[in-house]
């Protein structure tokens, strides 16, 4: 399974929430990431998320997309990191940033 943000969602991802503009992190999480991730977890398959090819990924977009999986959708941290594989040749620091958002959300939820 694979999600390429640039082609499956937008080459120009937006801010955190839809009211802040088009292609928000919330929209990406709800419409694309969450359904695919739940399916991958259910069938025990790796979900590759390709971060390359966008005009950039803002911190609010990334935190809402990935941290929101735990904060809002109540997914299990371990299940997420066991299922998702990131590809980011354009800017490998995005992977570390996302992993930090996942970890912080997990800690805030008291897990």
24, 64 Cβ separation under 8 angstroms: yes
Q: Is the pLDDT of residue 110 over 90?
A: no
Q: What is the mean predicted confidence (pLDDT) over 77-93?
A: 97
Taking only the tens place, the pLDDT of each residue in 61-84 is 999 999 999 999 999 999 999 999
86 near 54, Cβ under 8 Å?
A: no
CB of 13 closer than 8 Å to CB of 58: yes
When pLDDT is averaged across residues 91-99 and rounded to a whole number, the result is 97
């Amino acid at each position: 399974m694979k999600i390429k943000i640039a082609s499956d969602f937008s080459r120009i991802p937006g801010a955190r929430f839809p009211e802040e503009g088009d292609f928000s992190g919330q929209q990406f999480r709800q419409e694309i990431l969450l359904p695919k991730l739940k399916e991958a977890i259910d069938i025990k398959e790796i979900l590759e998320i390709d971060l390359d090819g966008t005009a950039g990924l803002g911190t609010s977009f990334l935190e809402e997309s990935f941290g929101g999986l735990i904060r809002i959708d109540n997914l299990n941290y371990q299940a997420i990191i066991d299922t998702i594989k990131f590809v980011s040749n354009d800017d490998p620091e995005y992977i570390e940033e996302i992993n930090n958002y996942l970890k912080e959300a997990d800690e805030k939820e008291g897990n």
